[in-house]
Amino acid sequence: MGGSSSRDQTAETSNSSFFTEDELKTLKSEYETGGVAKVTPLIQRKINDFDKTELNIAVTGETGAGKSTFINALRGLNEDDEGAAKTGTTETTMEPTGYKHPTLPNVWFWDLPGMGTKKFPANKYLKVMEFKKYDFFIIISACRFTENDVKLAKEMKRLEKNFYFIRSKIDSDLHSLRKGGRKVNEEEELEKIRNYCVRNMQEAGIPTPCVFLISNFNLNQYDFNLLTNALEDDLPSIKRSIYILSLPNLNVEIVERKKKELKKRVWMLASLSGVLGAVPVPGVSLGCDIAILIGGIIDFRKCLGLDDASLQRLANRAEKPVGDLKAVVKTPLVGEITPDIINRLAWGTAAIVISGLEIALDIIPVVGSIFGAGSSFLMTYKLLTGVLDDLTVNAKRVVTAAFGTD
């Protein structure tokens, strides 16, 4: 029983590394022949991959389908928030317009003009939109998917780009059905809409369309989680991680998925700390790189929506006073990161590190073994793991306070 548990723990830790199995083997081999100096460029190159990789998400569809509103929802914004995409019932997008994610500058949402307008007839549209630039496409319709939507999908398939169909304004459809006091079986009606969309696309020549039913004003309902799962499955590892971290905090499940991805950043930052060497923390015999630690805390709280700007956006979205959300945050890590806070973190972690060095190195594969017991790698790893746990608990409290549900 104990041996099985140990293996499970090792596997879990290994899966949370930001290195692939092949990269871990290369690191070990390079270390054995050249020491830390030889693995340093490999680790820094991997970190640069995370920092420089862009994710470009294209959203297209006909006028009035809700493209801009969907982009705002994915960015956690209301239409009157600063930087929000312009919405309207007429075509407001006359050229591809990029909207940067509010906290992840390498994530871009592109609002593409609807195809089939006078300015963008089908044959011209496919040439000028630079399809190869985008990682995947979302095609939105507020009713039925059209001939232009099918042409778009076929072109994307030819270019080997992933695409997903969204049937928007589902909440409006159900509201209309309920007018006059009519009783509505929501599941049956949703299935009718989904089947109609799928049949519509199949008849037009798309054999296995992925159709998701979405409300732009309440992403927690209907198929949004199914959509995000499909996107994650289709993206390569680094872009999948970036996409998950870009999601708005709608429920505790998303917060937990972000934590899993940020655990990989713990490895990344700890590895960087290991190659740079230990910087003593005042009052504590063990050391870590303080600048890396502070940077990690700031990055984690932004990704988990605990910085002031993110809390205000969430409050706006949930229509709650921002003070109500801040009131449930019970950690000093959301304020200024002072030497005193780092000291308290270090003192709390030092005993754990000292008492569990051999166990820790046993379950941290390859990388931990490279840097060794008592290293800056291990101290940074332990400190940031504790930081991530603390911030995750508080992010879940905030989401529950915002939406009144887990």
Q: What is the pLDDT of residues 231-287, one digit of tens each?
A: 888 888 788 989 999 999 988 999 999 999 998 888 778 777 776 664 444 444 445
CA distance 348 to 338: 16
Q: What's the CA gap between 316 and 312, in Å, rounded?
A: 6
Q: Which of 261, 364, 377, 365 is nearest to 25 (CA)?
A: 365
The answer to whether the beta carbons of residues 296 and 266 sit under 8 Å apart is yes
Q: Which CATH number fits domain 54-246: 3.40.50.300, 3.40.50.2000, 1.10.760.10, 3.40.50.2300?
A: 3.40.50.300
| DSSP output for 277-300 | ---BPTT-SSB--HHHHHHHHHHH
The predicted pLDDT at position 351 comes to 46
Cα gap 233→14, rounded to integer Å: 20
Residue 108 has pLDDT above 90, yes or no: yes
Give the model confidence (pLDDT) of 289-344 as tens digits: 677 888 889 999 999 999 999 999 999 888 899 999 999 999 888 888 776 777 67
How many CB atoms within 10 Å of residue 185?
Answer: 10
The two structure tokens encoding residue 45: 């190159």
User: CA triplet 257, 46, 7: central angle to 5 degrees?
Assistant: 55
Question: Domain ranges in the chain?
Answer: 2-34+250-403, 54-246
Q: Are 9 and 363 in contact (CB under 8 A)?
A: yes
| End-to-end Cα, the chain, rounded Å | 34
